Chain A
């Protein structure tokens, strides 16, 4: 069997204990479901001195859906989100995205926080230690260049979370706690601002800082959905994903938000598409032209199955189909 590198397992029973453990051990990493981290550790991508298990912190398990929106703790498992009746009706994109993550047994283990913090992925990175060494490593881990885009100076590893595009489309805000400014420090930001377009850095988390929970605004009259393009209907990470949320008021599309995943090192808010949709009457030609713009800000490179051009095309098709489907189906 593959060997996990040696580490100490810390199992705090509260959020503050967890933050202290992270603060005290600079080589520590937090873990919740472990469905991505343990794979990476078996591949030798991470060798933390400590793993701080967040599952024992009750503060991170809260899941509440009410009039003022929804709050979902970082340790809430994806299967719970998928099956939650109010999330299914009010925040359908999120429910669909949770159901699209990997495969059912992994959804029983994986958490929302883990999926939000999912490492970026690349053919040349998500391989065994033997494989990567035989190639001389890559920029993201230990090599001199990006194997997927050798001329570039940066890492283009692909943003691969399913839930994040859905959360961003739904207008989620993420609450971060702890970090170098002390275990009591806290900040909340729109989820799209959490990510940075850099396959290595990935997000703005500071050392010792954690995602505590995600907050979704009220979902009155909200239509939303998530589409994932992948080779098999299960197990696979997205090659392209699109999430859309909007309201229809007096026959017009309002407050449209469109997010694209797996097409850059961070999730992409499709501002041009959103602009076309805003205030528009839902006519088929309009949907098509809005969908055409969805890839404007994406930067796919050849680090996944499917050429970048094909993935762009798929993003447009997914977007158009999703818009059409939502407008035809109407609210649940």
Chain B
């Protein structure tokens, strides 16, 4: 067992993990954070995306031990109580959620994109989510949702300034 200390959704955590344990396994099985989904376990689908130091990574290909000293944000860490993150809200309002299995990974990827690039073009949005497969929506409404979230955040920013 390796003892790993890291920040998980803003809280300091300490956990013992096997050397061969992936971050995905640790999140789901040790922390009960089942919002992070397993779709292929081989880095091909993006369902297990989490934010590691703010960047999307595939937790099925990250050793849990590699979280040591870093910050991990999962889908559970995005909303505060009943208050949804603007990206989550946009996904809901736009109808960008069908089966929902790709949704946590999509939402986190989109969140990281908007943090780095608050006003992305459609091509930039599509490129950013191109490692997250969705089999239900055909992506159209997901792209709309990300754009909508960007516009909402932009409007909020402008309101804040005025």
Contact = CB atoms under 8 A, between A and B. Distances in A.
B146 to A, nearest CB: 14
Interface string B28-52: 0000000000100111101001001
Q: How many interface residues does chain B have, given as a range?
A: 20 to 34
Given A38-B61, A39-B42, A39-B61, A7 B20 contact: yes
Interface stretch (A102-110, A160-168, A244-252, A313-321): A102-110
Interface string A1-36: 111111111010000000000000000000000110
A70 interface: no
Given A102-B43, A233-B130, A5 B20 contact: yes
B111 interface: no
Contacts of A204: none
B19 A6 contact: yes
A35 B24 contact: no
Contacts of B25: 1
Interface of B: 2, 18-22, 24-25, 38, 41-44, 46, 49, 52, 55-58, 60-63, 65-66, 68, 109, 127-128, 130-132
A233 B63 CA distance: 28
Contacts of B128: 104
A55 B70 CA distance: 13
A235 interface: yes
Contacts of B41: 1-2, 42
Given A2-B41, A4-B20, A39-B43, A9 B127 contact: no
B46 A51 contact: no
A181 interface: no
A38 B63 CA distance: 9
Interface in A96-146: 102-106, 108-109
Given A35-B43, A105-B131, A1 B56 contact: no
Nearest to B58: A105
A140 B23 CA distance: 30
Interface residues of A, number: 30
B115 to A, nearest CB: 13
Nearest to B49: A105
Contacts, number: 87
B52 to A, nearest CB: 8
Contacts of A105: 46, 49, 56-58, 109, 131-132
18 contacts: A3-B20, A5-B20, A7-B19, A11-B68, A38-B22, A38-B61, A38-B63, A39-B43, A42-B42, A51-B63, A55-B66, A79-B55, A102-B43, A103-B131, A104-B56, A105-B131, A109-B61, A235-B131
Contacts of B38: 1
A14 B20 CA distance: 22
B56 A108 contact: yes
Interface in A191-250: 233-235
B15 to A, nearest CB: 15
